[in-house]
């Protein structure tokens, strides 16, 4: 069976994602589509609107055949490490081709990555973010400016692909519909995930009717069956504030990416501000993007250390679900996998390989009441 890979967060799954899966199958002439999907927390450093099981179920009902979880230590990272983790898992699955959406699919991202030379001297400045400095350098060297989210990820995939012993074939397709950051539900077929999340978090009769045309039925089912949660709920903020207030600065310094004295800034802000918005305002500087700060805050809640987050620890393939076709492919392909396939979460894995994912799942369960790892086997969706 011919397989094609995709990478996604499905936060939540909408019509644009269904289109992506359909096109991936078509352009790669594939029998099955294998999705590597972020778990309960996503790249920006926020909780996903629905848990990983609901989002995997949405994908399996609308075009994906196998869903593999992108572990926390890869999923909650800047674009280049997020891409590295996703490509690492696809390569371990022996997937030959990856299809992804881009704002400018005509750009040869592989050639662009080959032209890019990372001169670290440019990043010693503290008046601008790393992303701004890197983009300026890339534009100066190549003439192309990365200022669209999916183009940035596309470039990151190309950079990560160069590091593989057996690179994948990368196939970009045109991203359709509303702008990535559009806040309002589109009248078109494809709305932005941002607008869909906003509509689900503050629903009205009108937006609920609109959602019926913008998301597949399984996403609507999730919306009706479990609460949609904001990226940073009041409960998550309280967990963070408690951690920052009671933990000594010397211990906070061990948190991943807690560099350049951030531990002092975050601790002082937590002691002096009662609300999440005020806290965010207090910690923001020109040096760090909000995404970077959100990720550091989430690492703090999880007590995620550098040793747990940097590349090099044990890698694995956590199976979240499969269709009938996906099961046939797994039976055929699993002997070739380069990492162990994990289908059941047990106490030994909780204490070792999956400990960080376990902590993330437990925190998400505390926020939502939705049962996580120990009470879940991989989803099975019966298809023709």
Q: Is 322 assigned to a binding site?
A: no
Q: Is 130 assigned to a binding site?
A: no
Q: Is 150 assigned to a binding site?
A: yes
Q: Is 355 assigned to a binding site?
A: no
Q: Is 78 assigned to a binding site?
A: no
Q: Is 16 assigned to a binding site?
A: yes
Q: Is 122 assigned to a binding site?
A: no
Cα separation of 61 and 123, whole Å? 45
Q: Is 363 assigned to a binding site?
A: no
Cα torsion 201, 206, 211, 212: sign: positive
Q: Is 18 assigned to a binding site?
A: yes
Q: Is 101 assigned to a binding site?
A: yes
Q: Is 8 assigned to a binding site?
A: yes
Q: Is 10 assigned to a binding site?
A: yes
Q: Which residue has the tokens 């192309």?
A: 144
Q: Is 223 assigned to a binding site?
A: no
Q: Which residue numbers belong to the known binding site? A: 7-20, 101, 150, 175
Q: Which residue numbers belong to the known binding site for ATP? A: 7-20, 101, 150, 175
């Amino acid at each position: 069976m011919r397989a094609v890979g995709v990478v996604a967060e499905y936060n939540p799954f909408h019509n644009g994602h269904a289109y992506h899966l359909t096109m991936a199958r078509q352009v790669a002439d594939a029998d099955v589509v294998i999705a590597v999907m972020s778990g309960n927390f996503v790249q920006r450093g926020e909780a996903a609107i629905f848990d990983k099981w609901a989002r995997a179920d949405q994908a399996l009902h609308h075009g994906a055949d196998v869903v593999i979880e992108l572990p926390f230590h890869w999923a909650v990272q800047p674009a280049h490490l997020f891409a590295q983790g996703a490509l690492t898992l696809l390569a371990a699955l022996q997937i030959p081709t990856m299809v992804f959406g881009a704002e400018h699919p005509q750009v040869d991202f592989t050639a662009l990555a080959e032209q890019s030379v990372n001169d670290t001297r440019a990043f010693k400045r503290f008046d601008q973010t790393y992303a701004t400095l890197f983009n300026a350098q890339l534009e100066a060297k190549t003439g192309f400016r990365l200022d669209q989210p999916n183009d940035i990820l596309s470039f990151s995939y190309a950079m990560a692909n160069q590091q593989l012993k057996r690179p994948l074939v990368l196939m970009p397709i045109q991203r359709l519909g509303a702008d990535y950051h559009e806040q309002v539900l589109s009248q078109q077929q494809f709305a932005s995930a941002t607008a869909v999340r906003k509509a689900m978090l503050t629903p009205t009769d009108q937006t609920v009717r609109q959602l019926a045309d913008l998301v597949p039925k399984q996403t609507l089912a999730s919306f009706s069956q479990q609460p949609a949660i904001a990226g940073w709920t009041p409960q998550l903020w309280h967990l963070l504030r408690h951690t920052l207030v009671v933990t000594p600065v010397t211990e906070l310094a061990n948190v991943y990416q807690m560099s350049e004295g951030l531990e002092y800034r975050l601790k002082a802000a937590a002691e002096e501000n009662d609300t999440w918005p005020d806290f965010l305002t207090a910690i923001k500087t020109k040096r760090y993007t909000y995404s970077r700060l959100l990720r550091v805050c989430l690492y703090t809640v999880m007590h995620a250390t550098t040793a747990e987050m940097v590349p090099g620890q044990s890698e694995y393939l956590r199976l979240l679900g499969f269709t009938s076709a996906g099961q046939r492919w797994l039976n055929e392909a699993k002997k070739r996998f380069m990492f162990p396939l994990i289908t059941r979460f047990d106490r030994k894995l909780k204490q070792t390989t999956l400990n960080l994912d376990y902590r993330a799942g437990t925190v998400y369960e505390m926020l939502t009441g939705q049962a996580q790892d120990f009470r879940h086997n991989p989803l099975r969706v019966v298809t023709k």
